C-alpha cells in the first residue's frame, strides 16, 4: 500500500509521459519515432495502472501491466516488419510517403524550405600506420564479401 500523495504524484508522471507520447505520435514523421512515442504512451499507462494497483492493494493493475508488456512485444514485432516492408517499397521511413492513402479533403504534405542539415561532421583521429600490410588474396576476399 502506498500513501495517497505518492499515488497522485505517480499519476502525474503517468499523465506527463502519456501526453508527451501523444504529441510525439501526432507530430513526428519518422515511422520508428512514431512507434517509440506509442511505447512512451504505454509507459505512462503502465505507471498509472501500477500506482492504482499499489494504492488499492489489488493485483489486477499489475497483472494488466504484464499483459501490456506482452502485447507491446507482439506489436513491436509485427509493426517493425511492416515498417521494413514500407521501407523496402519507398526507401524512406517517412509516414508522408504514404500520403496517397489520405482522405480526399486533406491537403498534400509538401516539404518546402527544409532546414539545413546542421550536424557536426565528426573528425576522426589519424593513426600512424604500424606493422606490415598483410598479403591479400583478392579472390578470397571477394568470396568473403558474399558470405
Partner 1 sequence: MDPVAATTFPISGLLLAGSVAALAASLWLLLPKTSDTANSRRLGFLLGTAALIGFAATGRSLGCVGEDAVFLTVAGIAVISGLATIVTRSPVYSAIWFAMALAGVSGVLLVLGAQFLGVATIVVYAGAILVMFLFVLMLAQPSGMAPYDRVSNEPMLAAAAGAVLLGLLTLSIGRLSAAEPPSCCRMPSRAQGMAAAAPAEGAASEDDGSIAPATAGVESVDADEVAHLGAELFGRHLFAVEVAGVLLLVALVGSIAVVSRGEATETDHRRESR
> Which residues between 62 and 91 bind partner 1 (CB under 8 A)?
62-63, 65-67, 69-78, 80-85, 87-88, 91
Instruction: Please check whether residue 50 is in contact with residue 62, taking contact to mean a CB–CB distance below 8 angstroms.
Output: yes
Which residues, 17 to 36, sit near partner 1 by CB under 8 A?
17-24, 26-30, 32-33, 35-36
The reply on whether position 3 binds partner 1 by CB under 8 A is yes
Complex with partner 1: residue 8 or 137, whichever CB lies closer: 8
The 118-147 contact track toward partner 1, x by CB under 8 A, reads -x----------------------------
Residue 102 Rama label (left phi>0; alpha psi -120 to 50; beta): beta
CA 42 to CA 68: how far, in whole Å? Answer: 8
Q: What contacts 139, CB < 8 A, 6 or more positions away?
A: none
Amino acid at each position: 500500500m502506498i500513501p495517497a500523495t505518492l499515488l497522485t504524484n505517480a499519476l502525474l508522471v503517468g499523465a506527463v509521459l502519456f501526453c508527451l507520447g501523444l504529441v510525439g505520435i501526432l507530430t513526428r514523421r519518422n515511422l520508428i519515432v512514431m512507434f517509440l512515442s506509442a511505447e512512451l504512451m504505454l509507459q505512462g499507462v503502465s505507471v498509472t495502472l501500477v500506482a492504482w494497483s499499489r494504492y488499492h492493494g489489488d493485483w489486477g493493475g499489475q497483472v494488466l501491466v504484464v499483459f501490456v508488456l506482452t502485447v507491446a512485444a507482439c506489436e513491436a514485432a509485427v509493426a517493425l516488419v511492416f515498417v521494413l516492408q514500407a521501407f523496402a517499397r519507398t526507401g524512406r521511413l517517412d509516414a508522408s510517403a504514404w500520403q496517397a492513402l489520405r482522405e480526399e479533403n486533406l491537403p498534400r504534405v509538401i516539404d518546402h524550405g527544409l532546414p539545413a542539415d546542421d550536424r557536426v561532421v565528426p573528425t576522426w583521429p589519424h593513426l600512424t600506420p604500424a606493422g606490415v600490410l598483410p598479403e591479400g588474396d583478392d579472390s578470397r576476399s571477394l568470396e568473403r564479401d558474399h558470405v
